[in-house]
């Protein structure tokens, strides 16, 4: 396959957007100061325990301090202007970048930081083989245009243009020198319909592993796995919103349970740990089940799940008594957990997520570098349901464990999907290039 070249992909704001940003920001912060603040906000929002708005004040002030005393005089004119030069968060709230809430980024702040992350990523991006694959189908024509054409038998009656059809009937009657009378005598040949273009939309569900091991930081960048995933998805959502608004990106966070994540809450995602009872286990089935439920309601023809994980599955749902008995017959001392409604409600409120409810029990079985056969069976069964619904599944492995890579590769072989083995340093490049090439192949197929 010929490698796609994205070196000429240019990311920039429109002149109007730049002018508005400059007009607003010039009232309080110069561009260099604002850029420093946004970078600091990006780092703080993605921390495992993000600071409060009150704590941000001191953090942002420190980030604006000169690196040495000799630079102090040259930097003094770059501090925020206002009645109280220390009130940085107040200025940011007035400018619409922050809000006084637990998840303190506003939509404006989210896109300003995300745009900065995306620009940095695109400037570093070079042509490379970052796990690319082709799209198999394009959608049917559902985008209605203003132009019309002759209606043909068998076409969709919902697309008939009433004004054009009536005008055709009037022209035909007057040309035959007959008087107009109502109701009009409309002939089949008078019918005209709106033209459509092919729908080339794609929908992708990114499933992020929130198990406790995603806190690990092994890369040169110092980012943990979860921070790298959040940063990559942050830039992806901005890219999608600005350049591919017809495509849809959904985000799911999963551990033992799966949760719908609002895009603006991505920076504040947190992993689970052992103190959260059973929730820190890894349940691929929960991610696949919720992603399938979301995509079944989506009208796009090109549907895809991307699973981002650093561990093998160690949990699955038990939907019936027969499934429970099957597990117990093989392992009499198996661990089952019934999700506590109060715990789920508490976690959902703390994390601002809608957690999928388990209809039955959750089977828990952690085996060092191995997957329990029953969990593997239930995971594969759920994944195959997605495939039957024409949903592609790809996996991104963020771990050095060969056992995990081997398991995921075997899973993808059965699903005819792809596995990308990466570290957190190049996660952003992998996801963005894959998304761009994915979209490019849809458009290429449509034009062909």
Which CATH number covers residue 310? 3.40.50.410
Q: Which of 133, 167, 198 is the last residue of a domain?
A: 198
| pTM, two decimal places | 0.73
**Average pLDDT value for the chain:** 78
pLDDT surpasses 90 at 288: yes
Average pLDDT for 434-439: 70
Distance (Å, whole) CA 45 – CA 35 = 15
Range of weakest confidence among 50-54, 369-373, 421-425: 421-425
Place of tokens 């998840």: 103
Predicted confidence at residue 352, as pLDDT, reads 79
130 found inside a domain: no
8 found inside a domain: no
Predicted confidence at residue 85, as pLDDT, reads 45
Predicted confidence at residue 388, as pLDDT, reads 94
Closest CA to 30 of 77, 62, 89: 77
Average pLDDT for 137-164: 66
Instruction: Find out whether 118 and 11 touch, Cβ atoms under 8 Å.
Output: yes
Average pLDDT for 291-301: 90
Reported as a pLDDT band with limits 50, 70 and 90, residue 111 is very high
Cis peptide before 183 (omega within 30 of 0): yes
Residue 263 or residue 83, greater confidence:
263
Average pLDDT for 60-67: 77
Reported as a pLDDT band with limits 50, 70 and 90, residue 146 is low
pLDDT surpasses 80 at 42: yes
pLDDT surpasses 90 at 385: yes
Reported as a pLDDT band with limits 50, 70 and 90, residue 316 is very high
Predicted confidence at residue 76, as pLDDT, reads 43
Instruction: Find out whether 265 and 103 touch, Cβ atoms under 8 Å.
Output: yes
- pLDDT per position as a tens digit, 178-228: 887 778 788 878 888 877 655 457 889 999 999 888 888 765 667 788 888
Same domain, 120 and 153: no
Nearest 5°: CA angle at 185, between 179 and 190? 110
Same domain, 151 and 297: no
pLDDT > 90: what percent of the chain? 21
DSSP-assigned beta bridge partners for residue 367: 370
Predicted confidence at residue 132, as pLDDT, reads 31
Same domain, 74 and 56: yes
Reported as a pLDDT band with limits 50, 70 and 90, residue 447 is very low
Which DSSP string do the residues of 283-307 spell out, in sequence order? -HHHHHHHHHHHHHT---SEEEEEE
Same domain, 370 and 318: yes
Residue 150 or residue 111, greater confidence:
111
- 224: exposed, middle or buried (Cβ count in 10 Å: 0-12, 13-18, 19+): buried
Question: Longest C-alpha distance within the chain, in Å?
Answer: 94
Same domain, 219 and 193: no
Distance (Å, whole) CA 235 – CA 347 = 26
Range of weakest confidence among 24-28, 81-85, 104-108, 195-199: 81-85
pLDDT surpasses 70 at 443: no
Give the tokens for residue 7. Answer: 């070196």
In degrees rounded to 5, what are phi and psi of residue 287?
-65, -45
pLDDT surpasses 50 at 25: no
pLDDT surpasses 50 at 256: yes
Distance (Å, whole) CA 249 – CA 114 = 15
242 found inside a domain: yes
CA dihedral 278, 284, 288, 291 (to 10 degrees): 60
Give the tokens for residue 443. Answer: 């458009």
Residues with Cβ within 8 Å of residue 10, at least 6 apart in sequence? 122
254 found inside a domain: yes
Closest CA to 417 of 439, 370, 384: 384
403 found inside a domain: yes
Distance (Å, whole) CA 397 – CA 131 = 12
- pLDDT per position as a tens digit, 371-380: 999 999 999 9
Distance (Å, whole) CA 61 – CA 374 = 53
pLDDT surpasses 60 at 75: no
Same domain, 307 and 443: yes
Give the tokens for residue 95. Answer: 């400018």
Distance (Å, whole) CA 330 – CA 136 = 41
129 found inside a domain: no
Reported as a pLDDT band with limits 50, 70 and 90, residue 258 is very high
pLDDT surpasses 50 at 428: yes
Same domain, 102 and 194: no
Q: Which of 198, 227, 245 is the last residue of a domain?
A: 198
Closest CA to 427 of 205, 203, 236: 236
Predicted confidence at residue 421, as pLDDT, reads 79
Same domain, 213 and 341: yes
Average pLDDT for 349-372: 82
Same domain, 389 and 316: yes
Domain total of the chain: 3
Same domain, 179 and 208: no
* 1-21 exposure pattern, b = at least 16 Cβ within 10 A, e = fewer: eeebebeeeebeeeeeeeeeb
402 found inside a domain: yes
Distance (Å, whole) CA 261 – CA 284 = 16
Is the torsion defined by CA of 408, 411, 415, 416 positive or negative?
positive
pLDDT surpasses 90 at 354: no
Same domain, 116 and 156: no
34 found inside a domain: yes
Closest CA to 398 of 356, 426, 377: 426
Q: E strand or H helix at 142, and its extent?
A: strand 141-150
Reported as a pLDDT band with limits 50, 70 and 90, residue 424 is low
Give the tokens for residue 336. Answer: 């089952």
Give the tokens for residue 12. Answer: 């920039």
CA dihedral 368, 372, 376, 377 (to 10 degrees): 180
Residues with Cβ within 8 Å of residue 342, at least 6 apart in sequence? none
Residues with Cβ within 8 Å of residue 362, at least 6 apart in sequence? 256, 257, 278, 281, 283, 315, 316, 317, 318, 336, 337, 338, 339
Predicted confidence at residue 14, as pLDDT, reads 52
> Could you give the count of Cα atoms lying within 13 Å of 383 in the half-sphere of its Cβ?
26
pLDDT surpasses 70 at 271: yes
Residue 441 or residue 194, greater confidence:
194
Predicted confidence at residue 307, as pLDDT, reads 92
Instruction: Find out whether 288 and 382 touch, Cβ atoms under 8 Å.
Output: yes
Ranked by mean pLDDT, the top range of 48-62, 122-136, 147-161 is: 48-62
Reported as a pLDDT band with limits 50, 70 and 90, residue 333 is confident
Give the tokens for residue 84. Answer: 């109280």
pLDDT surpasses 60 at 114: yes
Same domain, 290 and 430: yes
Query: What range does the domain containing 22 cover?
Result: 15-124
């Amino acid at each position: 396959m010929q490698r796609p070249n994205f070196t000429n992909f240019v990311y920039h704001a429109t002149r109007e957007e730049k002018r508005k940003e400059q007009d607003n920001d010039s009232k309080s912060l110069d561009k260099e100061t604002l850029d420093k603040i946004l970078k600091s906000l990006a780092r703080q929002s993605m921390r495992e325990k993000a600071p409060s708005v009150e704590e941000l004040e001191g953090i942002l002030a420190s980030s604006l301090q000169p690196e040495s005393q000799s630079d102090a005089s040259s930097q003094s004119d770059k501090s925020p202007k206002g009645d109280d030069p220390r009130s940085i968060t107040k200025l940011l709230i007035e400018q619409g970048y922050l809000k006084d809430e637990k998840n303190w980024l506003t939509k404006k702040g989210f896109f300003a930081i995300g745009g900065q992350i995306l620009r940095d990523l695109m400037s570093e991006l070079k042509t490379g083989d970052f796990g690319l694959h082709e799209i198999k189908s394009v959608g049917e024509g559902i985008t209605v245009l203003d132009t019309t054409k002759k209606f043909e038998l068998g076409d969709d009656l919902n697309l008939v243009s009433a004004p054009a059809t009536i005008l055709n009937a009037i022209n035909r009657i007057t040309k035959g020198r007959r008087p107009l009378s109502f109701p009009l005598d409309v002939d089949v040949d008078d019918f005209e319909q709106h033209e459509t273009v092919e729908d080339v939309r794609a929908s992708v569900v990114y499933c992020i592993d929130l198990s406790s091991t995603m806190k690990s930081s092994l890369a040169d960048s110092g980012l943990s796995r979860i921070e790298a995933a959040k940063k990559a998805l942050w830039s992806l959502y901005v890219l999608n919103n600005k350049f591919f608004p017809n495509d849809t990106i959904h985000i799911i966070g999963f551990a033992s349970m799966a949760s719908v994540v609002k895009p603006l809450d991505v920076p504040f995602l947190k992993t689970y740990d052992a103190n959260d009872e059973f929730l820190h286990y890894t349940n691929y089935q929960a991610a696949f089940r919720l992603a399938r439920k979301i995509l079944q309601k989506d009208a796009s023809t090109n549907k895809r799940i991307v699973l981002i994980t650093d561990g093998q599955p160690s949990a699955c749902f038990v939907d019936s008594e027969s499934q429970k008995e099957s597990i117990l017959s093989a392992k009499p001392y198996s661990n089952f957990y019934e999700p506590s409604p109060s715990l789920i409600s508490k976690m959902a409120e703390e994390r601002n997520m809608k957690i999928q409810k388990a209809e039955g029990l959750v089977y828990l079985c952690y085996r060092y570098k191995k997957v329990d056969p029953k969990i593997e069976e239930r995971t594969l069964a759920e994944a195959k349901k997605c495939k039957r619904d024409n949903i592609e599944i790809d996996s991104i492995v963020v771990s050095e464990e060969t056992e995990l890579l081997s398991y995921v590769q075997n899973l993808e072989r059965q699903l005819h999907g792809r596995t990308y083995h990466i570290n957190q340093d190049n996660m952003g490049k992998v996801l963005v290039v894959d998304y761009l090439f994915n979209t490019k192949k849809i458009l290429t197929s449509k034009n062909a």
